Homo-oligomer: A and B are copies of this chain.
Amino acid sequence: MAIELKDLTKRADNYSQWYNDLVVKADLAEQSAVRGCMVIKPYGYAIWEKMQHELDRMFKETGHVNAYFPLLIPKSFLSREAEHVEGFAKECAVVTHHRLMNSPDGQGVVVDPEARLEEELIIRPTSETIIWNTYKNWIHSYRDLPILCNQWANVMRWEMRTRMFLRTAEFLWQEGHTAHATKEEALEEATKMINLYADFAERFMAVPVIKGVKTAHERFAGALETFTIEAMMQDGKALQSGTSHFLGQNFAKAFDVKFINKQNELEYVWASSWGVSTRLMGALIMTHSDDNGLVLPPRLAPTQVVIVPIFRNDEQLAIINEKVEPIVAQLKSAGISVKYDNADNKRPGFKFADYELKGVPVRLVLGARDIESGTIEVMRRDTLEKSVEQLEGIVEKIKVLLEEIQDNIFKKALKHREEKTVIANSYDEFKQRLDEGCFVMAHWDGTTETEERVKEETKATIRCLPLDGDTTPGTCIFTGRPSARRVLFARNY
Protein backbone atom coordinates (compact mmCIF):
# COMPACT_ATOMS: atom_id res chain seq x y z
CA MET A 1 0.00 0.00 0.00
CA ALA A 2 2.96 2.38 -0.28
CA ILE A 3 1.09 5.45 -1.50
CA GLU A 4 3.47 7.88 -3.13
CA LEU A 5 2.43 10.95 -1.21
CA LYS A 6 4.89 13.22 -2.86
CA ASP A 7 3.90 12.77 -6.47
CA LEU A 8 1.11 15.30 -6.22
CA THR A 9 1.47 17.76 -9.10
CA LYS A 10 2.46 21.27 -7.95
CA ARG A 11 -0.13 24.02 -8.39
CA ALA A 12 2.37 26.23 -10.16
CA ASP A 13 3.18 23.48 -12.66
CA ASN A 14 -0.36 22.55 -13.62
CA TYR A 15 -3.23 23.76 -11.47
CA SER A 16 -5.77 21.63 -13.25
CA GLN A 17 -3.70 18.46 -12.89
CA TRP A 18 -3.00 19.30 -9.24
CA TYR A 19 -6.76 19.33 -8.64
CA ASN A 20 -7.35 16.02 -10.41
CA ASP A 21 -4.44 14.41 -8.57
CA LEU A 22 -5.59 15.72 -5.23
CA VAL A 23 -9.16 14.44 -5.58
CA VAL A 24 -7.83 10.94 -6.19
CA LYS A 25 -4.84 10.89 -3.85
CA ALA A 26 -6.74 12.34 -0.90
CA ASP A 27 -9.30 9.55 -1.36
CA LEU A 28 -12.16 11.91 -2.11
CA ALA A 29 -13.48 10.38 -5.32
CA GLU A 30 -12.57 8.40 -8.40
CA GLN A 31 -13.87 7.77 -11.88
CA SER A 32 -16.35 4.93 -12.19
CA ALA A 33 -16.94 2.45 -14.99
CA VAL A 34 -19.79 4.68 -16.21
CA ARG A 35 -18.78 7.59 -18.38
CA GLY A 36 -18.79 10.88 -16.50
CA CYS A 37 -20.01 9.35 -13.24
CA MET A 38 -17.80 9.29 -10.17
CA VAL A 39 -17.59 7.20 -7.04
CA ILE A 40 -17.56 9.41 -3.97
CA LYS A 41 -15.22 7.59 -1.60
CA PRO A 42 -15.82 7.45 2.17
CA TYR A 43 -13.47 10.34 3.01
CA GLY A 44 -15.01 12.59 0.37
CA TYR A 45 -18.49 11.54 1.36
CA ALA A 46 -17.79 12.31 5.04
CA ILE A 47 -17.05 15.93 4.08
CA TRP A 48 -20.20 16.09 1.92
CA GLU A 49 -22.22 14.70 4.85
CA LYS A 50 -20.94 17.47 7.08
CA MET A 51 -22.01 20.02 4.48
CA GLN A 52 -25.41 18.36 4.18
CA HIS A 53 -25.86 18.33 7.90
CA GLU A 54 -25.24 22.06 8.28
CA LEU A 55 -27.26 23.05 5.23
CA ASP A 56 -30.17 20.85 6.26
CA ARG A 57 -30.16 22.44 9.71
CA MET A 58 -30.13 25.91 8.14
CA PHE A 59 -33.00 25.00 5.78
CA LYS A 60 -35.11 23.69 8.66
CA GLU A 61 -34.37 26.71 10.82
CA THR A 62 -35.78 28.85 8.02
CA GLY A 63 -39.01 26.87 7.88
CA HIS A 64 -38.29 24.37 5.10
CA VAL A 65 -39.23 20.69 5.09
CA ASN A 66 -37.82 17.77 3.13
CA ALA A 67 -39.76 15.57 0.73
CA TYR A 68 -38.93 13.20 -2.12
CA PHE A 69 -40.11 13.30 -5.74
CA PRO A 70 -39.58 10.73 -8.51
CA LEU A 71 -36.26 10.22 -10.26
CA LEU A 72 -37.94 9.82 -13.64
CA ILE A 73 -39.82 12.51 -15.50
CA PRO A 74 -42.20 11.90 -18.42
CA LYS A 75 -40.62 13.30 -21.54
CA SER A 76 -43.64 15.47 -22.32
CA PHE A 77 -43.26 17.35 -19.01
CA LEU A 78 -40.02 18.88 -20.22
CA SER A 79 -41.72 20.52 -23.18
CA ARG A 80 -44.30 22.28 -21.05
CA GLU A 81 -42.12 25.24 -20.15
CA ALA A 82 -40.68 26.58 -23.38
CA GLU A 83 -37.34 27.92 -22.12
CA HIS A 84 -36.85 25.08 -19.68
CA VAL A 85 -36.91 22.46 -22.41
CA GLU A 86 -34.25 24.35 -24.36
CA GLY A 87 -32.00 24.48 -21.34
CA PHE A 88 -32.46 20.99 -19.99
CA ALA A 89 -34.10 18.54 -22.33
CA LYS A 90 -31.23 18.09 -24.67
CA GLU A 91 -28.40 16.23 -23.00
CA CYS A 92 -30.07 13.84 -20.62
CA ALA A 93 -30.40 10.12 -19.91
CA VAL A 94 -33.47 8.65 -21.59
CA VAL A 95 -35.18 5.49 -20.33
CA THR A 96 -36.92 3.79 -23.23
CA HIS A 97 -37.40 0.19 -22.01
CA HIS A 98 -38.29 -1.60 -18.81
CA ARG A 99 -36.97 -5.09 -19.34
CA LEU A 100 -33.90 -7.09 -20.35
CA MET A 101 -34.00 -10.64 -21.62
CA ASN A 102 -31.48 -13.41 -22.15
CA SER A 103 -29.67 -12.85 -25.39
CA PRO A 104 -30.82 -15.24 -28.14
CA ASP A 105 -27.15 -16.16 -28.70
CA GLY A 106 -26.88 -17.22 -25.05
CA GLN A 107 -24.32 -14.49 -24.29
CA GLY A 108 -25.49 -12.13 -21.56
CA VAL A 109 -28.62 -10.01 -21.72
CA VAL A 110 -30.18 -7.71 -24.28
CA VAL A 111 -32.97 -5.16 -24.20
CA ASP A 112 -36.37 -6.80 -24.68
CA PRO A 113 -37.80 -4.99 -27.72
CA GLU A 114 -41.33 -5.74 -26.51
CA ALA A 115 -40.76 -3.82 -23.29
CA ARG A 116 -40.68 -0.42 -24.92
CA LEU A 117 -42.29 2.34 -22.82
CA GLU A 118 -45.23 4.17 -24.32
CA GLU A 119 -43.67 7.45 -23.31
CA GLU A 120 -39.95 7.76 -22.68
CA LEU A 121 -38.82 8.82 -19.23
CA ILE A 122 -35.96 11.20 -18.49
CA ILE A 123 -33.68 10.93 -15.48
CA ARG A 124 -34.26 14.27 -13.74
CA PRO A 125 -31.75 16.95 -14.68
CA THR A 126 -33.63 19.13 -12.14
CA SER A 127 -37.14 18.64 -10.76
CA GLU A 128 -39.20 21.77 -11.43
CA THR A 129 -41.48 19.96 -13.86
CA ILE A 130 -42.34 16.87 -11.82
CA ILE A 131 -42.67 18.94 -8.65
CA TRP A 132 -44.96 21.56 -10.17
CA ASN A 133 -47.05 18.79 -11.63
CA THR A 134 -47.37 17.49 -8.05
CA TYR A 135 -48.01 20.90 -6.50
CA LYS A 136 -51.04 21.25 -8.73
CA ASN A 137 -52.81 18.81 -6.39
CA TRP A 138 -51.51 20.40 -3.22
CA ILE A 139 -52.50 23.98 -3.89
CA HIS A 140 -56.07 25.25 -4.05
CA SER A 141 -56.23 28.27 -1.82
CA TYR A 142 -53.92 30.91 -0.36
CA ARG A 143 -54.25 28.91 2.87
CA ASP A 144 -52.21 26.12 1.24
CA LEU A 145 -49.33 28.53 0.70
CA PRO A 146 -46.45 28.91 1.08
CA ILE A 147 -45.04 25.47 0.32
CA LEU A 148 -41.38 25.31 1.31
CA CYS A 149 -40.03 21.93 0.17
CA ASN A 150 -36.50 20.76 -0.30
CA GLN A 151 -35.20 17.45 -1.55
CA TRP A 152 -31.77 15.82 -1.31
CA ALA A 153 -31.35 13.87 -4.51
CA ASN A 154 -29.20 12.68 -7.36
CA VAL A 155 -29.65 14.32 -10.76
CA MET A 156 -28.18 13.68 -14.17
CA ARG A 157 -27.03 15.87 -17.04
CA TRP A 158 -25.20 14.27 -19.92
CA GLU A 159 -22.16 16.54 -19.85
CA MET A 160 -19.59 16.10 -22.59
CA ARG A 161 -16.52 17.14 -20.63
CA THR A 162 -16.61 16.08 -17.01
CA ARG A 163 -14.34 16.76 -14.01
CA MET A 164 -14.81 15.17 -10.64
CA PHE A 165 -17.09 17.20 -8.36
CA LEU A 166 -17.01 20.20 -10.73
CA ARG A 167 -19.00 18.76 -13.59
CA THR A 168 -20.18 15.15 -13.57
CA ALA A 169 -23.00 13.45 -15.40
CA GLU A 170 -24.61 12.32 -12.15
CA PHE A 171 -24.25 14.54 -9.13
CA LEU A 172 -25.76 14.87 -5.69
CA TRP A 173 -27.50 18.04 -4.65
CA GLN A 174 -30.38 19.58 -2.84
CA GLU A 175 -33.10 21.39 -4.69
CA GLY A 176 -35.58 23.63 -2.92
CA HIS A 177 -38.90 24.32 -4.64
CA THR A 178 -41.19 26.85 -3.07
CA ALA A 179 -44.67 28.10 -3.92
CA HIS A 180 -46.03 31.46 -2.84
CA ALA A 181 -49.14 33.60 -3.01
CA THR A 182 -47.34 36.75 -4.10
CA LYS A 183 -44.51 37.84 -6.31
CA GLU A 184 -42.89 39.72 -3.44
CA GLU A 185 -42.84 36.65 -1.25
CA ALA A 186 -41.31 34.41 -3.94
CA LEU A 187 -38.65 37.00 -4.68
CA GLU A 188 -37.94 37.38 -0.98
CA GLU A 189 -37.52 33.60 -0.69
CA ALA A 190 -35.08 33.49 -3.62
CA THR A 191 -33.07 36.29 -1.98
CA LYS A 192 -33.20 34.66 1.44
CA MET A 193 -31.78 31.44 0.06
CA ILE A 194 -28.88 33.02 -1.82
CA ASN A 195 -28.01 34.78 1.43
CA LEU A 196 -28.23 31.47 3.27
CA TYR A 197 -25.87 29.86 0.75
CA ALA A 198 -23.42 32.75 1.05
CA ASP A 199 -23.56 32.45 4.82
CA PHE A 200 -22.90 28.71 4.63
CA ALA A 201 -20.02 29.14 2.15
CA GLU A 202 -18.32 31.77 4.26
CA ARG A 203 -18.94 30.48 7.78
CA PHE A 204 -18.53 26.74 7.18
CA MET A 205 -16.54 26.31 3.99
CA ALA A 206 -14.47 29.44 4.72
CA VAL A 207 -14.97 30.33 1.06
CA PRO A 208 -15.68 34.03 0.45
CA VAL A 209 -18.32 34.56 -2.22
CA ILE A 210 -19.69 37.40 -4.30
CA LYS A 211 -23.47 37.52 -4.38
CA GLY A 212 -25.05 38.75 -7.54
CA VAL A 213 -27.63 38.48 -10.25
CA LYS A 214 -27.05 36.56 -13.49
CA THR A 215 -27.50 38.18 -16.88
CA ALA A 216 -30.49 37.08 -18.96
CA HIS A 217 -28.11 34.92 -20.99
CA GLU A 218 -26.74 33.06 -17.97
CA ARG A 219 -30.09 32.70 -16.20
CA PHE A 220 -31.60 29.32 -15.28
CA ALA A 221 -33.86 28.09 -18.08
CA GLY A 222 -37.33 29.14 -17.02
CA ALA A 223 -36.35 31.74 -14.40
CA LEU A 224 -37.10 35.46 -14.39
CA GLU A 225 -34.09 36.12 -12.19
CA THR A 226 -31.18 33.94 -11.10
CA PHE A 227 -29.14 34.83 -8.03
CA THR A 228 -25.69 33.31 -7.70
CA ILE A 229 -22.74 33.05 -5.37
CA GLU A 230 -19.39 33.12 -7.15
CA ALA A 231 -16.11 32.08 -5.54
CA MET A 232 -12.57 32.72 -6.75
CA MET A 233 -10.30 29.71 -7.01
CA GLN A 234 -6.53 29.98 -6.50
CA ASP A 235 -5.96 30.27 -10.24
CA GLY A 236 -8.26 33.27 -10.39
CA LYS A 237 -11.09 31.44 -12.10
CA ALA A 238 -14.63 31.74 -10.84
CA LEU A 239 -16.67 28.82 -9.57
CA GLN A 240 -20.43 29.25 -9.47
CA SER A 241 -21.18 27.70 -6.10
CA GLY A 242 -24.93 27.99 -5.65
CA THR A 243 -27.92 29.51 -7.37
CA SER A 244 -31.39 30.60 -6.37
CA HIS A 245 -34.08 31.38 -8.92
CA PHE A 246 -37.14 33.57 -8.93
CA LEU A 247 -39.35 31.64 -11.35
CA GLY A 248 -42.26 34.05 -11.51
CA GLN A 249 -45.41 32.19 -12.59
CA ASN A 250 -43.71 30.29 -15.41
CA PHE A 251 -43.98 26.81 -13.97
CA ALA A 252 -47.41 27.48 -12.47
CA LYS A 253 -48.59 28.42 -15.95
CA ALA A 254 -46.90 25.44 -17.56
CA PHE A 255 -48.56 23.05 -15.10
CA ASP A 256 -51.74 25.04 -14.55
CA VAL A 257 -51.29 25.62 -10.83
CA LYS A 258 -53.75 28.25 -9.67
CA PHE A 259 -55.02 29.24 -6.25
CA ILE A 260 -57.85 31.30 -4.86
CA ASN A 261 -56.28 34.40 -3.36
CA LYS A 262 -57.55 36.44 -0.42
CA GLN A 263 -59.65 38.50 -2.80
CA ASN A 264 -61.34 35.26 -3.87
CA GLU A 265 -59.82 35.41 -7.34
CA LEU A 266 -58.06 32.60 -9.20
CA GLU A 267 -54.38 33.40 -9.69
CA TYR A 268 -51.26 31.52 -10.80
CA VAL A 269 -48.85 30.57 -8.02
CA TRP A 270 -45.43 32.26 -7.67
CA ALA A 271 -42.31 30.16 -7.41
CA SER A 272 -38.66 29.94 -6.44
CA SER A 273 -36.11 27.16 -6.69
CA TRP A 274 -32.56 26.93 -5.36
CA GLY A 275 -29.77 24.42 -5.17
CA VAL A 276 -26.23 23.57 -4.24
CA SER A 277 -24.47 20.39 -5.22
CA THR A 278 -21.39 18.23 -4.73
CA ARG A 279 -19.73 20.95 -6.81
CA LEU A 280 -19.22 22.67 -3.46
CA MET A 281 -16.63 19.96 -2.81
CA GLY A 282 -14.68 21.31 -5.76
CA ALA A 283 -14.89 24.85 -4.39
CA LEU A 284 -13.73 23.66 -0.99
CA ILE A 285 -10.76 21.74 -2.38
CA MET A 286 -9.60 24.42 -4.80
CA THR A 287 -9.93 27.38 -2.46
CA HIS A 288 -7.76 26.24 0.42
CA SER A 289 -5.55 23.31 -0.52
CA ASP A 290 -1.82 23.47 -1.27
CA ASP A 291 1.03 21.44 -2.75
CA ASN A 292 1.02 19.13 0.29
CA GLY A 293 -2.62 18.24 -0.15
CA LEU A 294 -6.00 19.22 1.21
CA VAL A 295 -6.53 22.04 3.65
CA LEU A 296 -9.94 21.61 5.26
CA PRO A 297 -11.86 24.16 7.30
CA PRO A 298 -12.19 22.76 10.83
CA ARG A 299 -15.99 23.07 10.73
CA LEU A 300 -16.22 20.57 7.85
CA ALA A 301 -13.22 18.34 8.56
CA PRO A 302 -14.29 14.76 9.33
CA THR A 303 -11.27 14.50 11.64
CA GLN A 304 -10.31 17.80 13.24
CA VAL A 305 -7.36 16.62 15.28
CA VAL A 306 -5.00 13.70 14.81
CA ILE A 307 -2.59 12.55 17.51
CA VAL A 308 0.54 10.66 16.48
CA PRO A 309 2.83 9.05 19.08
CA ILE A 310 6.58 8.73 18.55
CA PHE A 311 7.93 5.63 20.27
CA ARG A 312 10.81 3.17 20.10
CA ASN A 313 9.22 0.26 21.91
CA ASP A 314 6.01 -1.03 23.46
CA GLU A 315 6.97 0.30 26.85
CA GLN A 316 7.24 3.86 25.54
CA LEU A 317 4.00 3.45 23.62
CA ALA A 318 2.21 2.27 26.75
CA ILE A 319 3.28 5.38 28.61
CA ILE A 320 2.20 7.63 25.74
CA ASN A 321 -1.13 5.82 25.35
CA GLU A 322 -1.86 6.48 28.99
CA LYS A 323 -1.09 10.16 28.57
CA VAL A 324 -3.14 10.50 25.40
CA GLU A 325 -6.27 8.74 26.63
CA PRO A 326 -7.59 11.62 28.77
CA ILE A 327 -6.74 14.14 26.04
CA VAL A 328 -8.81 12.18 23.53
CA ALA A 329 -11.68 11.96 26.00
CA GLN A 330 -11.56 15.68 26.72
CA LEU A 331 -11.40 16.62 23.06
CA LYS A 332 -14.39 14.39 22.30
CA SER A 333 -16.42 15.80 25.15
CA ALA A 334 -15.62 19.27 23.79
CA GLY A 335 -17.26 18.14 20.53
CA ILE A 336 -13.96 17.86 18.65
CA SER A 337 -13.48 14.87 16.37
CA VAL A 338 -10.13 13.30 17.09
CA LYS A 339 -8.20 10.29 15.89
CA TYR A 340 -5.37 8.71 17.84
CA ASP A 341 -3.19 6.88 15.36
CA ASN A 342 -0.90 4.59 17.31
CA ALA A 343 -0.71 1.92 14.60
CA ASP A 344 2.78 0.42 14.61
CA ASN A 345 2.86 -0.70 10.98
CA LYS A 346 3.43 2.79 9.57
CA ARG A 347 6.27 5.18 10.35
CA PRO A 348 5.47 8.63 11.80
CA GLY A 349 6.77 10.32 8.64
CA PHE A 350 4.28 8.39 6.55
CA LYS A 351 1.47 9.28 8.92
CA PHE A 352 2.44 12.97 8.87
CA ALA A 353 2.38 13.13 5.09
CA ASP A 354 -0.88 11.21 4.92
CA TYR A 355 -2.71 13.48 7.37
CA GLU A 356 -1.34 16.53 5.58
CA LEU A 357 -2.62 15.14 2.32
CA LYS A 358 -6.03 14.56 3.94
CA GLY A 359 -6.12 18.08 5.34
CA VAL A 360 -6.57 17.28 9.03
CA PRO A 361 -6.50 20.78 10.59
CA VAL A 362 -4.43 20.04 13.68
CA ARG A 363 -1.76 17.42 14.31
CA LEU A 364 -0.45 16.64 17.78
CA VAL A 365 2.75 14.67 18.22
CA LEU A 366 3.74 13.15 21.52
CA GLY A 367 7.12 11.50 22.11
CA ALA A 368 9.04 10.17 25.09
CA ARG A 369 10.75 13.53 25.65
CA ASP A 370 7.41 15.29 25.69
CA ILE A 371 6.26 13.01 28.46
CA GLU A 372 9.26 14.03 30.53
CA SER A 373 8.79 17.73 29.88
CA GLY A 374 4.98 17.72 29.99
CA THR A 375 4.79 19.14 26.47
CA ILE A 376 3.24 18.28 23.11
CA GLU A 377 4.01 19.34 19.55
CA VAL A 378 1.18 21.09 17.75
CA MET A 379 1.11 21.55 13.99
CA ARG A 380 -1.58 23.54 12.20
CA ARG A 381 -2.27 22.35 8.66
CA ASP A 382 -3.13 25.75 7.18
CA THR A 383 0.30 27.32 7.77
CA LEU A 384 2.23 24.11 8.54
CA GLU A 385 3.62 25.93 11.60
CA LYS A 386 4.75 23.83 14.55
CA SER A 387 4.94 24.85 18.15
CA VAL A 388 5.62 23.09 21.41
CA GLU A 389 2.89 23.58 23.99
CA GLN A 390 2.34 22.60 27.60
CA LEU A 391 0.18 19.48 27.86
CA GLU A 392 -1.67 21.22 30.66
CA GLY A 393 -4.63 23.05 29.17
CA ILE A 394 -4.02 21.69 25.67
CA VAL A 395 -7.72 21.07 24.96
CA GLU A 396 -8.61 24.71 25.48
CA LYS A 397 -5.73 25.75 23.24
CA ILE A 398 -6.90 23.42 20.49
CA LYS A 399 -10.43 24.76 20.63
CA VAL A 400 -9.05 28.26 20.10
CA LEU A 401 -6.65 27.05 17.42
CA LEU A 402 -9.43 25.39 15.40
CA GLU A 403 -11.38 28.63 15.38
CA GLU A 404 -8.22 30.48 14.43
CA ILE A 405 -7.59 28.14 11.48
CA GLN A 406 -11.20 28.50 10.32
CA ASP A 407 -10.83 32.25 10.48
CA ASN A 408 -7.36 32.32 8.94
CA ILE A 409 -8.16 30.32 5.82
CA PHE A 410 -11.23 32.45 5.19
CA LYS A 411 -9.19 35.63 5.54
CA LYS A 412 -6.46 34.23 3.32
CA ALA A 413 -8.96 33.36 0.60
CA LEU A 414 -10.63 36.75 0.97
CA LYS A 415 -7.31 38.57 0.73
CA HIS A 416 -6.45 36.60 -2.39
CA ARG A 417 -9.76 37.48 -3.98
CA GLU A 418 -9.52 41.13 -3.02
CA GLU A 419 -6.01 41.41 -4.43
CA LYS A 420 -7.12 39.73 -7.62
CA THR A 421 -10.32 41.69 -8.10
CA VAL A 422 -9.64 44.70 -10.27
CA ILE A 423 -11.39 47.21 -12.45
CA ALA A 424 -10.62 47.60 -16.14
CA ASN A 425 -11.59 50.57 -18.26
CA SER A 426 -10.35 49.43 -21.64
CA TYR A 427 -10.60 46.16 -23.53
CA ASP A 428 -6.82 45.77 -23.59
CA GLU A 429 -6.57 46.28 -19.87
CA PHE A 430 -9.49 43.85 -19.47
CA LYS A 431 -7.75 41.10 -21.42
CA GLN A 432 -4.47 41.64 -19.62
CA ARG A 433 -6.13 41.43 -16.22
CA LEU A 434 -7.95 38.25 -17.19
CA ASP A 435 -4.64 36.70 -18.20
CA GLU A 436 -3.30 37.62 -14.78
CA GLY A 437 -6.10 35.50 -13.27
CA CYS A 438 -8.27 38.34 -12.06
CA PHE A 439 -11.94 38.98 -11.43
CA VAL A 440 -12.50 42.06 -13.59
CA MET A 441 -15.17 44.63 -12.80
CA ALA A 442 -15.94 46.27 -16.11
CA HIS A 443 -18.64 48.18 -17.94
CA TRP A 444 -20.89 46.27 -20.31
CA ASP A 445 -23.58 47.56 -22.63
CA GLY A 446 -26.20 45.12 -21.36
CA THR A 447 -26.58 43.06 -24.55
CA THR A 448 -26.28 39.32 -24.94
CA GLU A 449 -24.42 39.92 -28.19
CA THR A 450 -21.57 41.73 -26.47
CA GLU A 451 -21.52 39.15 -23.70
CA GLU A 452 -21.15 36.36 -26.26
CA ARG A 453 -18.48 38.11 -28.29
CA VAL A 454 -16.39 38.87 -25.22
CA LYS A 455 -16.68 35.22 -24.27
CA GLU A 456 -15.60 34.06 -27.71
CA GLU A 457 -12.58 36.32 -27.71
CA THR A 458 -11.44 36.02 -24.10
CA LYS A 459 -13.23 33.00 -22.62
CA ALA A 460 -14.50 35.32 -19.90
CA THR A 461 -18.17 35.29 -18.94
CA ILE A 462 -20.23 37.69 -16.91
CA ARG A 463 -20.38 35.86 -13.59
CA CYS A 464 -22.90 38.28 -12.14
CA LEU A 465 -24.03 41.80 -11.46
CA PRO A 466 -22.78 41.95 -7.85
CA LEU A 467 -25.50 42.89 -5.39
CA ASP A 468 -23.22 45.33 -3.64
CA GLY A 469 -21.19 46.30 -6.71
CA ASP A 470 -20.43 49.67 -8.24
CA THR A 471 -23.54 50.96 -10.02
CA THR A 472 -22.06 54.12 -11.45
CA PRO A 473 -22.83 54.32 -15.19
CA GLY A 474 -19.99 54.29 -17.74
CA THR A 475 -19.14 53.00 -21.21
CA CYS A 476 -18.87 49.40 -22.34
CA ILE A 477 -15.27 48.19 -22.64
CA PHE A 478 -16.15 46.27 -25.79
CA THR A 479 -18.57 48.46 -27.74
CA GLY A 480 -18.13 51.85 -26.11
CA ARG A 481 -21.88 52.08 -25.73
CA PRO A 482 -23.48 53.30 -22.51
CA SER A 483 -23.30 50.93 -19.55
CA ALA A 484 -25.57 51.09 -16.53
CA ARG A 485 -23.03 49.64 -14.12
CA ARG A 486 -19.92 47.53 -13.78
CA VAL A 487 -20.38 43.76 -13.86
CA LEU A 488 -18.11 40.92 -12.80
CA PHE A 489 -16.26 39.21 -15.65
CA ALA A 490 -14.07 36.16 -15.11
CA ARG A 491 -12.99 32.92 -16.66
CA ASN A 492 -14.75 30.14 -14.92
CA TYR A 493 -15.12 26.44 -14.15
Contact = CB atoms under 8 A, between A and B. Distances in A.
Nearest to A100: B89
A109 interface: yes
Given A74-B34, A95-B95, A109 B85 contact: yes
A96 B37 CA distance: 16
Given A75-B100, A93-B95, A94-B95, A172 B34 contact: no
Residue with the greatest number of chain B CB neighbours at <10 A, chosen from A46, A140, A153, A158: A158
Copies in the complex: 2
A65 B46 CA distance: 8
Given A94-B100, A109-B79, A133-B33, A1 B42 contact: no
A408 to B, nearest CB: 29
Interface stretch (A120-128, A229-237, A376-384): A120-128
Given A140-B1, A156-B71, A66 B42 contact: yes
A70 interface: yes
A141 interface: yes
Contacts of A75: 100, 108-109, 111
A202 interface: no
Contacts of A41: 67
Given A39-B70, A70-B37, A123-B71, A137 B30 contact: yes
A96 B122 CA distance: 11
Contacts of A170: 70-72
B76 A34 contact: no
Given A34-B74, A78-B109, A42 B149 contact: yes
A97 interface: yes
Interface string A97-138: 111110000001101000000001111000000100110010
B109 A99 contact: no
B91 A98 contact: yes
Given A77-B33, A95-B123, A108-B76, A39 B66 contact: no
Nearest to A101: B90
Contact of A66 (B49, B111, B158): B49
Contacts of A111: 75, 94, 96, 120
A352 interface: no
A45 interface: yes
A158 B98 contact: yes
Contacts of A422: none
A143 interface: yes
A77 B108 CA distance: 9
A122 B111 CA distance: 10
Contact of A144 (B1, B38, B141, B143): B1
A394 interface: no
Contact of A96 (B32, B96, B101, B154): B96
Interface residues of A, number: 67
A2 to B, nearest CB: 11
Interface in A314-369: 345
Interface in A18-75: 30, 32-34, 37-42, 45-46, 48-49, 65-75
A92 interface: yes
A330 B107 CA distance: 67
Contact of A92 (B74, B100, B123, B133): B100
A172 B71 CA distance: 11
A419 to B, nearest CB: 37
Given A30-B137, A120-B111, A39 B68 contact: yes
Contacts of A37: 70-72
Nearest to A152: B152
Contacts of A38: 70
A70 B34 contact: yes
A443 to B, nearest CB: 37
A141 B71 CA distance: 38
Contacts of A137: 30
Given A1-B143, A1-B144, A32-B134, 5 more contacts: A1-B141, A39-B68, A45-B66, A96-B111, A100-B122
Interface of A: 1, 30, 32-34, 37-42, 45-46, 48-49, 65-79, 85, 89-101, 108-109, 111, 120-123, 130, 133-134, 137, 140-141, 143-144, 149, 153-154, 156, 158, 170, 172, 345
27 contacts: A1-B140, A30-B134, A32-B130, A37-B70, A37-B71, A37-B72, A39-B69, A40-B67, A42-B149, A45-B66, A45-B68, A71-B123, A72-B93, A75-B108, A75-B109, A76-B108, A78-B100, A90-B101, A93-B97, A93-B98, A94-B95, A94-B97, A94-B99, A94-B111, A96-B96, A111-B120, A123-B123
